[in-house]
Amino acid sequence: MQITKVFQSKNLSRDKILLREAVSGMRVSEPSGSMAWQLRSEGLVVSAYESGKIVIQGKNTDEVEKILQKLDVRQDTSDDSFTSHIGVDEAGKGDYFGPLVVSAVLVESQELSRELVNMGVRDSKKVSDSTAIDLRSSILETCKFTSTVVISPKEYNKKYKNYRNVNKLLAWGHAQSIENILEDTKLKERPSKVVIDQFAKSESRILDALMTNGKKLEIDQRHGGEEDIAVAAASIVARGRFLLELEKMRSKYGLSFPKGASDVVSFGKEFIKKYGIKELDDVAKISFRTTLKITSTFDI
């Protein structure tokens, strides 16, 4: 028996992302007519229309009810003390392969904060890779002022020789991303505060790296900074860009680079066999101790 349920969405982009996370095997189908998007899985079709209406059709009652409950999730983001602020976070710090990415996002109003929450923005560690990439696009479309600093592996290796400390390098990336937003000529009113997910034991690390405009702001460094919506948005923008950079590397070398740093040695050895040890500098953070494990059997 076919079950049909109709749901009025408050945010079609957010609901599309939630559904792809909630139901395994959901695939995107080509929309037609007034449809905004359509998702399908085995025995289930979810069609979204430009009017905001979502039609759910399926044979499994439990599955349909599960989707309705998922779509009905709403978070109250009302906060009378809200002030316009920048959030900053990074991706790739602990990954052997790929760049270091630092992103900053300015959340200017309580309304924008609510919109981001309803979109599904949260700590990037709590979302899948595909969701991070989709959410990144939505955030960039929604937020007027964002900045992303991508430090390629080759640039990372070069800078590391000067800094000799990853947190100093990371502080520079944070400072630059903040400065980029503050220097935007379209920014009419400068925010007074920056929230940062604290990455170093010493809070002075980022303070010492701040540039001309950044030094004028209140700097709020906190552990678990992604609980702040601006930091959560920045974490997703950074991670989404990191994943896209890995995809560029895959296209260039014809290899799917592993994330993290704990299970990369065998892949690294195979990469060197195929492309040579000098090419490792273009794809990996060679200051990691992992490099010794990878190169130990090769003549340097």
Phi, psi of 95 (to 5 degrees): -95, 130
pTM of the model: 0.76
H/E run at residue 106: strand 100-107
How many angstroms separate the CA atoms of 135 and 167, rounded? 27
Residue intervals of the chain classified under CATH 3.30.310.10 are: 3-71
Domain boundaries for CATH 3.30.420.10 within the chain: 85-247
| CB of 68 closer than 8 Å to CB of 175 | no
pLDDT in tens, 181-193: 999 989 999 998 9
Contact indicator for 48, 36 with CB cutoff of 8 Å = yes
Partners of residue 7 on adjacent β-strands:
54
CA-based nearest residue to 102, from 193, 209, 176: 176
Establish how many alpha carbons lie within 13 A of residue 269's alpha carbon, considering only the half-sphere containing its beta carbon. Answer: 9
DSSP string covering 126-181? GS-HHHHHHHHHHHHHH-S-EEEEEE-HHHHHHHHHHH-SHHHHHHHHHHHHHHHH
| Residue located via tokens 């950044």 | 214
DSSP code at position 97: B
Task: Compute the distance between CA of residue 261 and CA of residue 286 in angstroms, rounded to an integer.
Answer: 11
Distance, in Å, from the CA atom of 226 to the CA atom of 124, rounded to the nearest integer, reads: 8
- CATH 3.30.420.10 for domain 85-247: yes
Rounded Cα gap, residues 183 and 38, in angstroms: 40
Q: Render each residue's pLDDT in the chain as its tens digit; 300 residues.
A: 667 777 777 778 878 887 777 677 778 888 888 888 888 888 788 888 888 888 888 877 677 777 766 666 544 444 556 889 999 999 999 999 999 999 999 999 999 998 898 888 888 888 889 989 999 999 999 999 999 999 999 999 999 999 889 999 999 999 999 999 999 989 999 998 999 988 877 778 899 999 999 999 999 998 888 889 999 999 999 999 999 999 999 999 999 999 999 899 999 999 999 999 999 999 999 999 999 999 987 665
Q: Which long-range contacts (CB under 8 A, 24 or more apart) does 267-272 make?
A: 268/96, 268/293, 268/294, 269/294, 269/297, 272/298
Task: Quote the CATH superfamily of domain 3-71.
Answer: TATA-Binding Protein (3.30.310.10)
Full DSSP string of 207-238: HHH--TTGGGSEEEEETTGGGSHHHHHHHHHH
Which candidate, 166, 212, 172, 14, places its Cα nearest to that of 88? 172
